[in-house]
Amino acid sequence: MNLSENLQFLRARSGLTQEQLSEALGVTRQSVSKWESGASYPEMDTILKLCDLFQMDLDTLLRGSAERSLGEDSAGYDRFMTLYARKVAGAVSGIIIGVALMLLLNGLGLPEMLGGAVFLLIVTVSVIVLIASGLEEENFRKQYPTLPDFYTERQKSDFRRRFIWHIAGGIGAILFGVALTALAFTVLPEKEPYETLVGAAFLLIVAGAVFSLIYGGMLEDKYDIPKYNRQNNPTPEERALRRRARTACALIMILATALFLCLGLTQNSWESAAVIYPVGGVLCGGAWVLLGPRSEE
């Protein structure tokens, strides 16, 4: 395909008339008509506008096949982003599972130091997974800063139906955990070790719910390729805001780890100190909202 054929295909795919496309580009409708018929050729700055408008790379627009490109995932984006979502969701859920295991070990009468060590080990593995996954995703974005929106409307529609169950399932699991906890204490006495064991069971349910919520949310972002392309081409101001927010989050989690180790080693209160990490996570979210870039959507 050449530019004229690609332009006809992309305009029709976007549901634009020649007049609407000409208005978007700041040219006359006759110019668009001549480009599509091959009678004339747009200037380079207009071609670059077409690339941005249709999220298409320059080489494909001029010499390749836009139709074939939009139907292929040549970069392996879908597989990579699905695996990335699983890693992140699993690592975050793993930290909650670590708290649950620590409570379980303490409830079974094992030394509190052992429970703290198990929790710290799981947190270490989870943090390593989060850091490594984040670096992999950053490298992928650098290698493929712009991608064609190859997902069909059928694929997006099918996911939207699944997404409802990710969110409903996560919220439902948390409510089920609350109900199960209340039911447990109608049978079990409200004293140790039952309180600790029931708390551990509740956190395991919460961990599954968090996995479903994070995984579903990240998959929803995966299908929004225009958003992916916008994020990979930020303004200098947006880059500075992201760097500031990431630095704040890193400092918060370093401080949380230092406090956890300090309280655990000096006061042997590993179980109560574990609450520092969820608080740190909330503070990180707040730091990103306050210091990070604002969405244009």
C-alpha distances out from residue 99 to 5, 92, 196, 207, 209, Å: 59, 12, 11, 10, 15
pLDDT at residue 69 in the model: 65
Per-domain residue ranges of the chain: 3-70, 79-121+147-223
Residue 100 or residue 242, greater confidence: 100
User: Coil, helix or strand for 131?
Assistant: helix
Range with the lowest mean pLDDT among 6-15, 144-153, 197-206, 286-295? 286-295
The whole-angstrom separation of Cα 267 and Cα 259 is 11
What is the pLDDT confidence band of residue 72, given thresholds at 50, 70 and 90? low
The whole-angstrom separation of Cα 242 and Cα 258 is 24
For the chain, give percent helix, strand, coil, nearest 5.
Answer: 80, 0, 20
The whole-angstrom separation of Cα 263 and Cα 270 is 7
Residue 106, pLDDT above cutoff 90: no
**Structure token digits, residue 119:** 């929790």
State the pTM of this model: 0.67
Q: What does the DSSP 8-state code read for residue 38?
A: T
The whole-angstrom separation of Cα 284 and Cα 46 is 42
Residue 97 or residue 53, greater confidence: 97
The whole-angstrom separation of Cα 10 and Cα 51 is 10
Residue 285, pLDDT above cutoff 90: no
What is the pLDDT confidence band of residue 269, given thresholds at 50, 70 and 90? confident
C-alpha distances out from residue 91 to 86, 119, 143, Å: 8, 13, 25
Q: Does domain 3-70 have CATH number 1.10.260.40?
A: yes
pLDDT at residue 296 in the model: 46
The whole-angstrom separation of Cα 161 and Cα 239 is 34
Q: What does the DSSP 8-state code read for residue 189?
A: -
Q: Which of 11-15, 165-169, 290-294 has the highest mean pLDDT?
A: 165-169
Contact 148, 75 (CB under 8 A): no
pLDDT at residue 170 in the model: 92
The per-residue pLDDT for range 32-56, each reduced to its tens digit, is 898 888 888 888 888 888 888 887 7
Range with the lowest mean pLDDT among 42-46, 187-191, 241-245, 271-275? 271-275
What is the pLDDT confidence band of residue 295, given thresholds at 50, 70 and 90? low
Average pLDDT score, the chain = 84
What percent of the chain has a predicted confidence (pLDDT) above 90?
26
Residue 124 or residue 271, greater confidence: 124
